[in-house]
Amino acid sequence: MKVKLLFFAALREQLGRPTEEVELPASVTTVGALRDHLRARGGEWERVFAPNRPVRAAVNQDMMQAEARIKAGDEVAFFPPVTGG
């Protein structure tokens, strides 16, 4: 299935892209599995999505935990803990 990825702030800079359309294998059905899938790309991806790195995720603009399901056409965003206000 195909999903749209968005990256913000330090993640966007490290990965060198604000957005990407990606075709996922059938085994990737949750936010946590997607994170593992991206980490397996190696290089900067491995550093950005390292298990000890505090990365937040949103699916269709709602904050989600690792076990949240993802489906075709979803907008999945990854970003650091927020620092507004």
Partner 1 sequence: MKVAVQREDFDLGAEVRAISRDAKVGAVASFVGLVREVRMTLEHYPGMTEREIGKIVDEAAKRWQVMDCTVIHRYGELAPNEQIVLVAVASAHRGDAFAACEFIMDYLKTRAPFWKKEHRAGGATWVESRAADDEAAERWKRGER
Element (H, E) at 6: strand 2-7
Q: Is there binding between residue 79 and partner 1 (CB under 8 A)?
A: yes
Is residue 84 a contact point for partner 1 (CB under 8 A)? Answer: yes
Q: Give bridge partners of residue 7 from the DSSP assignment.
A: 78
Comparing CB distances to partner 1, the nearer of 25 and 84 is 84
Distance CA 8, CA 27 (A): 26
Is 33 a binder of partner 1 (CB under 8 A)?
A: no
Smallest distance, partner 1 to C-beta of residue 84, A: 3
Of 26, 46, 20, the closest CA to residue 35 belongs to 46
Applying CB under 8 A, which residues contact partner 1? Answer: 6, 8-10, 12, 54, 58, 61-63, 77, 79-85
